[in-house]
Amino acid sequence: MIVTPKYRGFICTTSHPEGCAVNVNHQINYIKSKGKFNGPKKVLVIGASTGYGLASRIAAAFGSGAATIGVAFEKPATGSRTASAGWYNTAAFEKAALKEGLYAKTINGDAFSNEIKQQVIDLIKKDLEKVDLVVYSLASPRRTHPVTGETFNSVIKPIGETYTNKTVDFHTGVVSEASFEPATEEEIQNTVKVMGGEDWEMWIHALDEAGVLEKNTITIAYSYIGPEITHPIYKNGTIGKAKEDLEQTSKRLNVFLSKNGGKAYISVNKALVTQSSSAIPVVPLYMSLLFKVMKEKNVHEGCIEQMYRLFADRLYGNKPLYDSEGRIRIDELEMSDDVQSKVNELWKKVDTDNINELSDLEGFRNEFFNLFGFAFDEIDYDKDVDIDVKIPSIE
């Protein structure tokens, strides 16, 4: 089948199997180019198929020779519908790992459910015995609670008052002013239920009870803070409330794991184009300006560069960087004064007429299409491809 991008707003409903493999292989090659580090050996990544979770899995496997179990919620191809990008990414990752003799298996299903937790525990017991790192990198619009059966939807809204700012339609480059109504109390609570720490804590307790955590196990989840421009919609909005909850959870988990020498961390990461972040209003315009500035200063990074630094420098290396809240920081280049003051200056000026000159909208758009395996020079998109790709560990 010839696969072309079919997109609407921040959703692309097709993905290209060979393009997704190129995306994964670029990341693997980056890690290989950096050389090995002495990191984790048996890793569980929850949310392993795209974005930061996929990059974490690649960094652990190809940087530290780790056996990895990934959990993701992806769709295989059916009829003429392509699989989701995360499906193709996972297939490419497993194939590359197996080629190098690295253990790699994936459980595809709802990570919020008890069934998937049990399947993961059974697989660890059968194949790895225990894990020494648990990465929690889920980003989801909804969660069905495993005990009550209730389904919660998350929203991305400000809290307390309406927020008005510039935003861009990144396909057309039209910059407009948009207003976002504040969330209701129920929407805030529901967002915390989906993106807060409850499920992370359930995972760690379930793994501990099953006896599949090594002594000195590390667990880590990812957060974002960002600049003042985005605070009303992010840090001080519904998602920020969920991140506060995640941070509180990390403190509890740190105490819980310390009985066996383990640790729980939050890493504050850089803003990057992923399927989740492109859905946040205002953020794509901020990222387009940020990428322009960071590329000019030669400090731009993608998910894989960030995860390499997190593992090789911070978690398992000798360049720790913690803030006053005890969070690991790898967003220090994004948040540096010289980058932020330049972005602020551009933010005031940017409009539909000058956006291509002032921002890296094209870079943003490319990275968006890259997520689905499109816009890679290596791929001939006029060529027929087999969309029915198997993930080796899933039959």
Find the binder of ligand NAD among 67, 272, 293, 391 (CB under 6 A).
272
Contacts to ligand NAD from residues 27-56, by CB under 6 A? 47-53
Q: Counting contacts by CB under 6 A, is residue 227 touching ligand NAD?
A: no
Query: Distance (Å, rounded) from C-alpha 89 to C-alpha 58?
Result: 11
Find the binder of ligand NAD among 139, 159, 229, 391 (CB under 6 A).
139
Find the binder of ligand NAD among 277, 288, 359, 370 (CB under 6 A).
277
Find the binder of ligand NAD among 10, 88, 180, 224 (CB under 6 A).
224
Q: Counting contacts by CB under 6 A, is residue 73 touching ligand NAD?
A: yes
State in angstroms the smallest separation of the CB of 359 from ligand NAD. 17
User: Of 151, 133, 135, which is closest to residue 143 (Cα–Cα)?
Assistant: 151
Residues 6+ positions from 243 with CB-CB distance below 8 Å: 195, 196, 223, 224, 235
Q: Counting contacts by CB under 6 A, is residue 112 touching ligand NAD?
A: yes
CB-nearest residue to ligand NAD: 51
Angle at 328 between CA 116 and CA 242, to 5 degrees: 50
Q: Counting contacts by CB under 6 A, is residue 370 touching ligand NAD?
A: no
Q: Counting contacts by CB under 6 A, is residue 119 touching ligand NAD?
A: no
What are the tokens at 349? 């000026």
Q: Counting contacts by CB under 6 A, is residue 154 touching ligand NAD?
A: no
User: Of 221, 213, 222, 220, which is closest to residue 261 (Cα–Cα)?
Assistant: 213
User: Of 293, 363, 304, which is closest to residue 330 (Cα–Cα)?
Assistant: 304
Beta strand ranges found along the chain (DSSP E): 7-8, 11-12, 42-46, 67-72, 104-108, 131-136, 142-144, 151-153, 163-169, 174-180, 213-223, 263-268, 328-329
State in angstroms the smallest separation of the CB of 274 from ligand NAD. 3
State in angstroms the smallest separation of the CB of 72 from ligand NAD. 4
Per-position DSSP letters for 48-83, written without gaps between them: -SSHHHHHHHHIIIIIH--EEEEEE-----BTTBPP
Query: Distance (Å, rounded) from C-alpha 43 to C-alpha 346?
Result: 41
Query: Distance (Å, rounded) from C-alpha 62 to C-alpha 364?
Result: 27
Find the binder of ligand NAD among 106, 165, 269, 359 (CB under 6 A).
269
234 tagged catalytic: yes
Residue 36 backbone zone (phi > 0: left; psi -120 to 50: alpha; other: beta) = beta
From the list 52, 222, 224, 234, the catalytic residue is 234
Q: Counting contacts by CB under 6 A, is residue 110 touching ligand NAD?
A: yes
What is the b/e burial string over 23-41, where b = at least 16 CB atoms within 10 angstroms of the residue's CB? bbbebbebbeebeebebbb
Q: Which is nearer to ligand NAD, 1 or 95 (CB)?
A: 95
State in angstroms the smallest separation of the CB of 298 from ligand NAD. 20
Q: Counting contacts by CB under 6 A, is residue 393 touching ligand NAD?
A: no
Q: Which is nearer to ligand NAD, 47 or 232 (CB)?
A: 47
Find the binder of ligand NAD among 66, 67, 69, 71 (CB under 6 A).
71
Bridge partners (DSSP) of residue 209 are none
Lay out the site mask for ligand NAD across 317-356 (x = CB under 6 A, - = otherwise): ----------------------------------------
- Report, as residue numbers or ranges, the catalytic residues: 234
Q: Which residues bind ligand NAD (CB under 6 A)?
A: 47-53, 71-74, 86, 110-112, 137-140, 222-224, 269, 271-272, 274-277
